[in-house]
Amino acid sequence: MHVLIVGAGIAGLGAAWALVRGGHRVTLLEQGPIPNPRGTSVDTHRLIRRAYGLETGYMRMITHAYAAWNRLWTDLGVRLCVDTGALSMSRLTDDWVAASLKALKRDGFLVEELDAKRLAARFPLVDPQGVEVAFLSPEGGVLLAERIVAALARWLAEKGANLRAAMRVASVDADAARVTLADGQTLGADLVLVAAGAWVAALAPTVAQRVEPSRQVLAYVDLPEDLARAWAQHPSLLCAERASGFYLVPPVFAPDGTQTRLKIGDHLFSRTGDAESDPRIAGTAETRAVFEQARGWLRDLDRYQLAEGKVCFYTVDRRPGRETFQSLPLGKAAWVMSNCSGHGFKFGACLGEAFADLVAGRRSPDSLTRYVAGEVV
């Protein structure tokens, strides 16, 4: 089957990889270069972790994610994930962290609970004062996102996939499996997959009713040598206080020996902005606000140098408190895949395989939609 994919982020590339492995013909269209630095997937790194609060389907799907990534590493010939484990902390006893701990224990996943004394002894970079719930999950790490996207694009090209950059899609004929480009050219296939990230709503009105854009600011931090060495041996960090909190991606060493920067982001979706028209410039004040969320959680924060802020655009579930992914049929010959929010990257390979299973007849349309939504795991 010939599948035309709109969007060369991790959702589109993951699907293309699985389809090519299955013997299908793939044409991949991207509005900018491949990789596209304006895309959400093209960032230094993304986290993979088992903790998922009440979203137990995604918690269980991490097993599938790791298995799919391992198949991808074999194809690429390099492992672009650094295992760190994941440390979660909260000053409350009834929030996302507590719910995650309960779910992990109920399903029998490995987890180590830490009281304040053990937390201080094991992880001296964090401040245990006031922490009520803390646990370490050995399953977790740093996915080297921009390297993964670039390596996938190279692999696909080598395997004969047709990667076409600077091809902006204006509309999709979901019944005829055709797309019209901004210059008026039309392209057809047997099936179209719209995986356009933060631009998805313009091409798939059905999913626009379910997701909305969200402008997110990320803070990148430079460290003195001793802290850089210490964080390179430290788990990723998730800190929560009711509706707020932040995550920290530790600096890790990539296969080429270079060390990434420490990154801090928050769990609050802005639910504003436009990926097409808004500049990718993060203001000093808003970047500082993201960085300052770590104050009181990390020791000696004044030794951390805020280097720069970056802006990326997610698509997020319109329902407050939910982070459900969307995969829906569009007409007779098209589908949409929207891995909402930054946490979608970790599932790029396994959701690509799930879509390839649909194309091959091994999965029903309803099963795919429910699986992507974390309902059937």
| Domain 2-45+146-210+322-372 CATH superfamily | FAD/NAD(P)-binding domain (3.50.50.60)
9 with 197: CB under 8 angstroms?
yes
- Rounding to the nearest 10 degrees, give the CA dihedral for residues 361, 365, 370, 371: 30
Q: Calculate the alpha carbon distances from 196 to 9, 149, 193, 322 in Å.
A: 8, 15, 9, 20
156 with 296: CB under 8 angstroms?
no
Sequential DSSP letters for 309-360: EEEEEEEEESSTT----EEEEETTTEEEEE--SGGGGGGHHHHHHHHHHHHT
* Confidence grade of residue 315 (pLDDT, cut at 50, 70, 90): confident
Position 147 pLDDT exceeds 80: yes
Of 49, 14, 69, nearest in space to 250 by CA: 49
**H helix count then E strand count, the chain:** 11, 20
Chain-centre distance for alpha carbon 224: 28
pLDDT, tens digit, for every residue of 219-277? 999 999 999 999 999 999 999 876 678 999 999 999 999 999 999 998 788 888 888 88
What is the structure's pLDDT at 271? 85
Number of C-beta neighbours around residue 48 at 10 A? 22
**Counting beta carbons within 10 angstroms of the beta carbon of residue 327, is it exposed (0 to 12), middle (13 to 18) or buried (19 or more)?**
buried
Strand residue runs (E) in the chain: 2-6, 25-29, 46-49, 81-83, 86-90, 112-113, 133-137, 140-143, 162-164, 169-173, 178-181, 186-188, 191-194, 211-222, 236-241, 244-249, 262-266, 305-317, 326-330, 334-338
174 with 334: CB under 8 angstroms?
yes
Cβ partners under 8 Å of residue 37, min gap 6 = none
pLDDT, tens digit, for every residue of 66-95? 999 999 999 999 999 999 999 999 999 999
Q: What is the mean pLDDT of residues 323-352?
A: 90
Domain 83-141+212-317: give its CATH code.
3.30.9.10
Domain locations in the chain?
A: 2-45+146-210+322-372, 83-141+212-317
Phi then psi for residue 129, to 5 deg, are -60, 125
- Beta 178-181 vs 186-188: how paired, if at all? antiparallel
Instruction: Give residue for tokens 């803070």.
Output: 219
Q: What is the pTM of this model?
A: 0.95
Instruction: Give residue for tokens 């013909």.
Output: 25
Q: Residue 158 in 3-state DSSP?
A: helix
Q: Residue 235 in 3-state DSSP?
A: coil
Phi then psi for residue 240, to 5 deg, are -135, 145
155 with 169: CB under 8 angstroms?
no
List the single range of 114-128, 144-158, 185-199, 307-321 with lowest mean pLDDT.
307-321
What is the structure's pLDDT at 303? 97
